[in-house]
Amino acid sequence: MALTSLQCVTLSDMAAARQFSARLNAGVVDRLERRGARSGLNKSRLAERYIDEGMRMEDHPGIVFRDGPTGRRAGLAAGPDVWEVISALRSTGLEGDEAIRATAEWSGLTARQVRDAVGYYGEYPAEIDGRIRLNDEEADAAERRWREQSFTR
């Protein structure tokens, strides 16, 4: 009976999660614990994040992950967040190489950097589209507040 109960908790909390064991150097575990205490994440979640991000960076050279006011997100190693590049690329109204060239020219990035962002977006569109949507919603809300202040004065 206890096993059924445990399975229910596991399935409800982490439907797609699978258990994985690894032996890590004691120093690495100590660092995970310290960082987890600072970030509010337990060491298992933090290790999972680092593994996932490490594999994503290996699959997409030029992409890094950084923290910020809206959370952790993918960005170009020497440039803006991926969502910003994709948003700029969409705003060109162009497609293919023309869109990449126009985005690179407008942003001061290289075509390679724009392609890196496009490659990452190709594999994680929901993540990047969510960031773009959040930015659009916040910009719309800020504009509404500004208009309300402007007309009430």
* Distance between CA atoms of residues 81 and 83, nearest Å: 5
Average pLDDT, the chain: 88
In a shared domain, residues 30 and 98:
no
Give the three-class secondary structure for 65.
strand
Whether residue 19 lies inside any domain: the answer is no
In a shared domain, residues 43 and 85:
no
Question: What is the number of domains present in the chain?
Answer: 2
* Distance between CA atoms of residues 106 and 89, nearest Å: 10
What pLDDT, on the 0 to 100 scale, is given for residue 14? Answer: 52
In a shared domain, residues 40 and 98:
no
* Distance between CA atoms of residues 49 and 36, nearest Å: 11
Average pLDDT of the residues in 25-36: 94
Q: What angle do CA 106, 67, 45 make, to 5 degrees?
A: 135
Please give the structure tokens belonging to residue 128: 């990047």
Owning domain of residue 98: 61-153
Of 35-39, 123-127, 146-150, which gets the smallest average pLDDT?
146-150
Give the predicted TM-score (pTM) of the model.
0.81
In contact, 42 and 36? CB cutoff 8 Å? yes
Whether residue 140 lies inside any domain: the answer is yes
Phi, psi of 29 (to 5 degrees): -65, -40
Whether residue 4 lies inside any domain: the answer is no
* Distance between CA atoms of residues 111 and 65, nearest Å: 20
Q: What is the pLDDT of residues 48-65, one digit of tens each?
A: 999 999 999 999 999 999
Provide the pLDDT confidence category of residue 12 given band limits of 50, 70 and 90: very low
**Among 13, 37, 59, residue at a domain's last position:** 59
* Distance between CA atoms of residues 53 and 55, nearest Å: 5
Whether residue 101 lies inside any domain: the answer is yes
Give the three-class secondary structure for 35.
helix
Give 24-27 contacts, CB < 8 A, sequence gap 24+. none
Average pLDDT of the residues in 16-25: 88
Whether residue 115 lies inside any domain: the answer is yes
What pLDDT, on the 0 to 100 scale, is given for residue 132? Answer: 96
Q: Name the more confident of 98 and 138.
A: 98
Q: How buried is 55 (Cβ within 10 angstroms: 0-12 exposed, 13-18 middle, 19+ buried)?
A: exposed
In a shared domain, residues 53 and 41:
yes
